[in-house]
Amino acid sequence: MSSVNKYARQYFMPPEPSLGWTQKEHITKAPTWCSVDLRDGNQALVVPMNLDEKLEYFQLLVGIGFKQIEVGFPAASETEYAFLRKLIDENLIPEDVTIQVLTQAREHIIRKTFAALRGVNNAIVHLYNSTSLAQREQVFRSSRQEIVDIAVTGARLFKECAEETEGHFQFQYSPESFTGTEIEFALEICNRVLDVWRPTQNNPVIINLPATVSLSMPHVYASQIEYVSNHLKYRDSVVVSLHPHNDRGTGVADAELGLLAGAQRVEGTLFGNGERTGNVDLITLALNLYSHGVNPELNLQDIPSILAEHQRLTKMEVGKRHPYGGELVFTAFSGSHQDAIAKGMKWREEAQRSHWSVPYLPIDPKDIGREYEGDIIRINSQSGKGGIGYVLEQHYGLDLPREMRETVGYAVKDVSDRLHKELMPNEIYEIFMNQYANIGRPIEFINFRFTQQREFEAVVTIRINDTITDLEGIGNGRLDAISNALLSNLEIEYSDLVYSEHALEIGSKSHAISYIGITAVSDGNTYWACGVDSDIMTSSVKALFSALNKLVLGLGISVSLEDMVNTGQN
């Protein structure tokens, strides 16, 4: 791209190596979560939520388990102010939930904010002013000292207003546009604010270091966080917080590395809704922890319901491939993926393992309210035998022999490819039953009977076209006797009969299904089919006749009793 030279680095590295986070393998406990859906998320909506919608969303967040919820910018609009007062006046804030409000470092806005908070049990009051080089030079045209003075003056006014206002308040400060601020200056202004507030362990202060605009790779943000965290005054009485945006698509990585670097708290939104490319997605962060065996301390057992409520209230769509929440995130269409998932699920069931390790599935979808049937393996022309076999087994109880799955897979994929569509389980079942089960033409099975001496003697009645005849055969078992009756009387040669059967309990009133594969002597191909019947022996015979008919049709053999039957006719 010809304009690339106009771009240069807009971020600042710490003045000393800050790489302690690189020695940590993983996050060991959940951070304090703060949802900013009702402020940062709401102001990013095409149509912001009304008062009733905000209340519903607040209740959704409480149900998920958020203990800190930013409810708005009460000095910004009448709706924001009215919503905050409704929460307080109608006692709608649970005792264990702390609300948070945002204010610029401007006197009339600060005073209006504290007035809106009158009578609150617990609130975080969040002060911010922009500190980046670009903002100082281009927007405010102010010196570093002038920017520090704005923050310090606001911090002093916070103390004054808090003393005059009924309620309990915790203070938070953000050097807004932190990622574009010289790191030494960001540290300086945070420490100057802390000197005003003088936090204690009983009354800690939150220092929030936002990636208001993501300007660097995640490791740079982590080093910036670590440097500030290690050099803050009153560190034992300070909660270091993150507020990553997603301009570079690295919001989650920024947050995870920032937590390794010493942060204790994260501000974000459900599914990442926020300005521009969005805020960091708290659900993704929380379930990433969960996938490593760390309790996220949020109630995420029903992601589909959370997603539905989020989309209804925000009128925003969440992508089908969005981590954890998207409709298709656990879905495999690829044949090799489906085969591995199907085998992994079966192995897990057989081995009775306590730890989750199924290929292609980082967590158990059922843990977050997703179902195996319809969510994990879906079928189109890219699918394979393993996935198709899995769908038939999960939905209809059909445990196809491994060798049979390939031919069934090709048959199903051929239909999907021809129709250019995904096939639903009922459509796959219909294809299977139509093409493989109880095939009665051109050689129709009518009945059988047995006698037993040293071996089984079978008489099987068949119909070809409109002619009926009995065929006789001897074998070491009932099915072997019937197979020999066919081989010895019909001019059709096959070998290597493969047989399996099982009880059928799903989707049918029948009780048994039998699968048979026979190999044609003429071309070496194996022809598979099945029989379904309430009687296991009858289902086996129907399977044999179905396989024989597939062989006849596959080879293009023209059959008639006059040409093919060597015994007398009835």
pLDDT > 50? residue 566: no
DSSP secondary structure string for all residues of 30-73 = PPEEEE-IIIIIGGGSSS---HHHHHHHHHHHHHHT-SEEEEE-
Cβ(370)–Cβ(392) under 8 Å?
no
Rounded Cα–Cα distance for residues 112 and 74 (Å): 8
What pLDDT score was predicted for residue 490? 87
Rounded Cα–Cα distance for residues 273 and 248 (Å): 15
pLDDT > 50? residue 91: yes
Rounded Cα–Cα distance for residues 257 and 234 (Å): 23
Hey, what domains does the chain have and what are their CATH numbers?
31-314 (3.20.20.70), 335-436 (no CATH), 443-564 (3.30.160.270)
SS3 state of residue 202: coil
Mean pLDDT of the chain: 92
Cβ(88)–Cβ(133) under 8 Å?
no
* DSSP secondary structure letter of residue 526: E
What pLDDT score was predicted for residue 446? 94
Distance of CA 210 to the CA centre of its chain: 27
Percentages of the chain per state (helix, strand, coil), in multiples of 5: 45, 20, 35
* Mean pLDDT score, 208-212: 97
pTM of the predicted protein model: 0.81
Whose CA is closest to 253, among 291, 214, 227? 214
Ranges 161-175, 259-273, 471-485, 552-566: which has the least confidence: 552-566
In which band, very low, low, confident or very high, does the pLDDT at 570 lie, cut at 50, 70 and 90?
A: very low
Angle at 15 between CA 256 and CA 232, to 5 degrees: 65
Rounded Cα–Cα distance for residues 199 and 192 (Å): 12
User: CA separation (Å) from 312 to 37, 60, 320, 403, 446?
Assistant: 14, 12, 16, 47, 59
pLDDT > 90? residue 552: yes
Rounded Cα–Cα distance for residues 539 and 282 (Å): 54
Rounded Cα–Cα distance for residues 423 and 459 (Å): 42
In which band, very low, low, confident or very high, does the pLDDT at 249 lie, cut at 50, 70 and 90?
A: very high
User: CA separation (Å) from 507 to 388, 390, 397, 467?
Assistant: 17, 15, 8, 35
DSSP secondary structure string for all residues of 340-356 = HHHHHHHHHHHHT-SS-
Ranges 208-212, 251-255, 391-395, 475-479: which has the least confidence: 391-395
Ranges 158-172, 186-200, 342-356, 429-443: which has the least confidence: 342-356
What pLDDT score was predicted for residue 388? 84
DSSP secondary structure string for all residues of 543-557 = HHHHHHHHHHHHHT-
In which band, very low, low, confident or very high, does the pLDDT at 381 lie, cut at 50, 70 and 90?
A: low
Q: Return the number of other C-beta atoms located less than 10 Å from residue 568's C-beta.
A: 7
* Mean pLDDT score, 258-273: 98
